[in-house]
Structure 1
Amino acid sequence: MVEAAFDVAGLVGHRYRTDDFYEVGREKIREYARAVQDFHPAHWSEDAAGELGHTGLIAPTTFLSTVAMLANHRLIETVTTAYDVVVQTDQVFEMYKPVLTGDQLVSDVELSSVRRIAGKDLLTITNTFTDQTGEIVQIMHTTMVGLTSDDVDAGISDMIERVIMSGLDTTSRAADGLPTSDPEPEIAANLSSISRTRVPRTAVRFEDIAVGDELPARTVHLTRGDLVNYAGVSGDVNPIHWHDEVAALAGLPDVIAHGMLTMGLGAGFVTTWLADPSAMTRYGVRLSNYTVIEAASTGSLEFTGRIKSVDPETRTAVVVIVAKSAGRKVFGLATADIRLA
């Protein structure tokens, strides 16, 4: 285990803004939609997106997780020096404005909390994405658990160094290697209200739903090739998703699907039913298990959902999503807040 040269909890509140903007590309949206098996036409066709009132392709719900990977790199490579492995446990997306082709996004990155539960550290990073108009389009909260050699095989760090993709800087950084904390961002950002005020164009009307109603079930299949593809598209190259030996050293029964991949599939399950991807305003998932993908067989995920609550005044509802793989629940708790026509 690498000993921490600093107290991780002491970094809570540290924040910085990315140096450059990320421009959302047409083909990147399509690549990501393919990776999470989301074939809603608005992710692929400008005409279909235009029918929903958008000026370009709309990105899938979890698309900005890939941008967060880039934005968070400097923070991640510092805080993770205290651990041998970091595993994602929770993710929350708050959508305030659809992400479209051509958007130029910057992110404020903050280590917003460190909690110790059952002897393990839970770290939450918050990304606030702002577009070229100065409006906040999405806020994302990512929670990870830090594992040490007490939890995984001590040789995992050396193995990762041998198999990780070339060109990645995996050397440890001291805390003073972080960019200067910036409590007052240069650009005053305003919280956009578009996702809360635009008229949704859902196939399902509010009058047609009731508490307890079930969404049409969906089963998706995953192969090792799907995991490798998602790793390349998302930038999440953690070897536990494609290397048997590293997965074994991490204490896993085999290679497992990315948590964000399963979340992307879950989001598409709901937005396909809605027929308007921009009608989802919040999506939160707590991971409770993993999806094992064996080399010699195809893995599968079964998604079901039901209406948990409705609000007639705002014509909104909350959907509870259940994801199962090999009979095990993959999502401990997953909900989507939606707006209906």
Structure 2
Amino acid sequence: MVKVLFDVAGLVGYGYRTDDFYEVGREKIREYARAVQDFHLAHWSEDAAGELGYTGLIAPPTFLSTVAAVANRRLLEIVTTAGYDAVVQTDQVFEMYKPVLTGDRLVSDVELSSVRKIAGKDLITVTNTFIDQTGEVVQVMHTTLVGITIDHVDVGISDMIERVIMSGLDTAAEGMPTSAPNTATAANLSSISRTRVPRTAIRFEDIAVGDELPARTVRLTRGDLVNYAGVSGDVNPIHWHDAVAALAGLPDVIAHGMLTMGLGAGFVTAWLADPSAMTRYRVRLSNYTVIEAASAGSLEFTGRIKSVDSETRTAVVSLVAKSSGRKVFGLATADVRLA
């Protein structure tokens, strides 16, 4: 791809609405739940979802990251013509306003919402607003990416990726926009996630600041990474190809950042026993999870109650994820509602 070398900050505010809707499929929910090892029955059984008051399977909290990956492609094509050779995810925020269910038809408003320069690197935030068939906002996602140039990776990485990447992914930008208006129609935030009575196993009266969640250790193999790549559409070969990972300056193949976030979200919702009781989830990545070919890797999740609000019967949970003794999450919190 030809690098145009323009100032990406000039595109702040540029946006569009996806041309077609995404219909949430029953088996897609199950595939994603398996990929992030989230076995809450509401993701698998209509009867279990019905006990929580829903007519279809409930998607795991981070499910829409897979939809955003497709919706954002046009914007990221433009961004990468600004002189970057790659963009790497560093921070993610999910704001939940309505559970995502089987049969939902969602469109996404996509916006380049901010560009900040820190330590000489551009931090680019893309915002996705997902709207269902009723015209209500079900979820808002803010994805922060750091622009990477060839100075930070081996010069041979582009040729290597070209040889191993999945076919049919040539989505080169047709050209730069002459202006950057966001013409999407505004939609109202759904109130469901903040007004329904949560059906959590934990009651508000039974928690206090400092309480710890039951720890969980997750096993990850190369097979899990390949499966997640297929389910999510994130086919970056640093997650499955040793040579590309080495050229990128990594010690070995690493797990997807969004996979580790999905595992963390499931860790919290398993404790809640109501996946729709989470209203906000934020993760800042600080390290990676190495997965060697000869042995499985692991992630250890712990959490504690950071704060509580008696008026709203809500709490903020602070999460820690570690791999081989290193913190993978630099900052991670989940806002939850309790029965």
User: 2:301 aligns to what?
Assistant: 303
Which structure 1 segments of 5+ residues have no match? none
Shift of residue 153 of structure 1?
1.0
Identity percentage over the alignment?
85
Shift of residue 246 of structure 1?
0.8
Shift of residue 4 of structure 1?
3.2
1:43 maps onto 2:33 in alignment = no
Superposed, 1:20-35 pairs within 5 Å as 20-35=20-35
Superposed, 1:313-328 pairs within 5 Å as 313-328=311-326
Tell whether the 8 Å contact from 2:318 to 2:332 is kept in structure 1 after alignment.
Answer: yes
Deviations 1:283-327 (A, max 9, x none): 000000000000001000000000000000000000000000000
The count of aligned residue pairs is 338
- Give distance in 2, aligned partners of 1:305 and 1:17: 37
Tell whether the 8 Å contact from 2:255 to 2:289 is kept in structure 1 after alignment.
Answer: yes
Alignment TM-score, normalising by the size of structure 1: 0.97
Give the root-mean-square deviation of aligned CA atoms.
Answer: 1.4
Superposed, 1:34-113 pairs within 5 Å as 34-81=34-81, 82-113=83-114
User: 2:271 aligns to what?
Assistant: 273
1:288 maps onto 2:289 in alignment = no
Which amino acid is 1:161 matched to?
E
Shift of residue 71 of structure 1?
0.4
Tell whether the 8 Å contact from 1:315 to 1:340 is kept in structure 2 after alignment.
Answer: yes
User: 2:330 aligns to what?
Assistant: 332
Which amino acid is 1:167 matched to?
G
- Give distance in 2, aligned partners of 1:236 and 1:111: 20
Which amino acid is 2:162 matched to?
E
User: 1:207 aligns to what?
Assistant: 205
Shift of residue 116 of structure 1?
1.1
Shift of residue 6 of structure 1?
2.5
Which amino acid is 2:182 matched to?
P
Tell whether the 8 Å contact from 2:126 to 2:142 is kept in structure 1 after alignment.
Answer: yes
User: 1:143 aligns to what?
Assistant: 144
- Give distance in 1, aligned partners of 2:109 and 2:317: 29
Tell whether the 8 Å contact from 2:15 to 2:183 is kept in structure 1 after alignment.
Answer: no
Shift of residue 2 of structure 1?
5.7
Tell whether the 8 Å contact from 1:84 to 1:156 is kept in structure 2 after alignment.
Answer: no
Shift of residue 77 of structure 1?
1.4
Shift of residue 85 of structure 1?
2.1
1:129 maps onto 2:130 in alignment = yes
Alignment TM-score, normalising by the size of structure 2: 0.97
One of 206, 217, 229 as aligned partner of 2:215: 217
User: 1:185 aligns to what?
Assistant: 184
Give 3-state SS (helix, strand or coil) of 1:126's partner.
Answer: strand
User: 1:13 aligns to what?
Assistant: 13
User: 1:116 aligns to what?
Assistant: 117
